[in-house]
Amino acid sequence: MTTPSLPPRPARRAVIVGSGISGLAAALTLHRAGWQPLIVERAPERRTGGYFVRFFGPGYAAAERLGLLDALPNRQRPGARGFEIDRSGRVTPGLTFPDQGDGTPLRMLLRSDLERVLYDAVHDLVEIRYGTGPAAITQDRHQVTVTMTDGSVESADLLIGADGIHSTVRSLAFGPEDLYREDFDHAVAACVIDGALPGVRDGDTMVATAPGRSAWINTYVDHPPVAFLLYRTPWPAAEVRKNPSDALREVFGDFGGTIVPAMLNAMDRSESVLFDQVSQIHINRWSQGRVVLLGDSAWCMSLYSGQGSGMGIAGAELLSRLLEEHDCVPSALGAWEQQLRPLTTRYQKEALRMQHFFMPVNRFGHIARRGLVRVISHPAGAKIAKAIMN
């Protein structure tokens, strides 16, 4: 007598909200684990752009395991130079980024580089539906059902909110954003510069600082420069409702020299400027039943951590691995959070320290940062800094 074989188990379904780095990484890793993912994205089409990324640590290691590293460019030219610019426009030697960080090589990228590589890996494998997003979420022990803004309804074994710091999934399933968002008194702007900057060659990094203000201009191999500006403001939520060009000229218009004025002129011409306040997300659990938050929607560490993009990939890879190991979805989500939360908490705390390097908050901080740059620019100081990074 033969024992009848059981029919193959149908592929488990996941609805992923957000087509950024975290969402694409989740779709890729879940598809490889035998799931059937669907990505929904509220934007009408694929978005590009974004500021620079220091790609190292857990995200680098995860990308290596996923076989993505060979497709990722390194935008930093060997022998790249770093310069500091004071408010008068005087240029002095500055810092360059190290080759290693947190136990892995460090690679300079743009967010769009990571998104492109992930998109290329998944777009033929996974449905991506643009121009829609969640309007309502219900769930029971067996499935989660999402009603979309276009009226369609999707049922799945898992709903992943990978829709960023202003997550709709988080608001629907966990409560209003204000419960979890902790704001810095900082505004941030970024855009692509439409041409060369005077006296700057590909690979150079220019940092213009004054108390409560900093402008980073990063140049790259095979890509236009990207400007990245930070400043303190008592009311960041109101500040970012202003016209970006007007707000940035008001804050940085007194910088002399040629670099910062050229950057401001380029921002005037830009059709797309990222302009937002700087915040972190602190939430006591990342999942409710069959709904889970991933990436910035769960643990936004802020740009000061240098780990936002990398942890989106690392978190997605670990999530898929634990979902393979556990038949019960809620059990897998609990194990995932238990393993990942100590690392994200560490990076959130590091961001609180690193904010002072990215932007000195006052005159004393500006003097201290300037002294630190001088020390690390010396060969002996550079060795100490490299040892700390590793």
Looking at residue 383, its pLDDT comes to 55
Residue 254 sits in the same domain as residue 217: yes
Residue 244 sits in the same domain as residue 115: no
Residue 174 sits in the same domain as residue 204: no
For the chain, where are the alpha helices, taking DSSP H only? 21-32, 58-65, 111-122, 168-173, 236-239, 244-252, 259-269, 296-299, 308-325, 329-358, 363-377, 379-389
Residues facing 15 on adjacent strands? 38, 159
Residue 216: CB atoms within 10 A of its CB come to: 20
Residue 176: CB atoms within 10 A of its CB come to: 9
**Does residue 200 lie within any of the structural domains?**
yes
pLDDT in tens, 219-253: 888 888 888 899 999 999 999 999 999 999 999 99
CATH number at residue 203: 3.30.9.30
CATH number at residue 34: 3.50.50.60
**Does residue 133 lie within any of the structural domains?**
yes
* CA–centroid distance for 268 within its chain: 25
Q: What does pTM read for this prediction?
A: 0.91
**Does residue 5 lie within any of the structural domains?**
no
Residue 269 sits in the same domain as residue 381: yes
Contact 169, 298 (CB under 8 A): no
**Does residue 373 lie within any of the structural domains?**
yes
Domain extent, residue 223, equals: 184-278+360-389
Return the structure tokens found at 32: 């490889």
Residue 30 sits in the same domain as residue 162: yes
- The DSSP result for 9-29, as a single string, is PPPPEEEEE--SHHHHHHHHH
Nearest-angstrom CA–CA distance, 9 and 340: 29
* Count of the separate structural domains present in the chain: 2
Residue 218 sits in the same domain as residue 250: yes
Residue 268 sits in the same domain as residue 371: yes
Residue 248 sits in the same domain as residue 270: yes
Nearest-angstrom CA–CA distance, 200 and 180: 41
Residue 45 sits in the same domain as residue 163: yes
Looking at residue 6, its pLDDT comes to 47
Residue 43: CA count within 13 A, CB half-sphere: 11
Residue 171 sits in the same domain as residue 194: no
Residue 249 sits in the same domain as residue 137: no
Residue 197 sits in the same domain as residue 164: no
First to last CA, the chain: 63
Residue ranges of the chain whose pLDDT lies below 50: 1, 6, 385, 387-390
**Does residue 4 lie within any of the structural domains?**
no
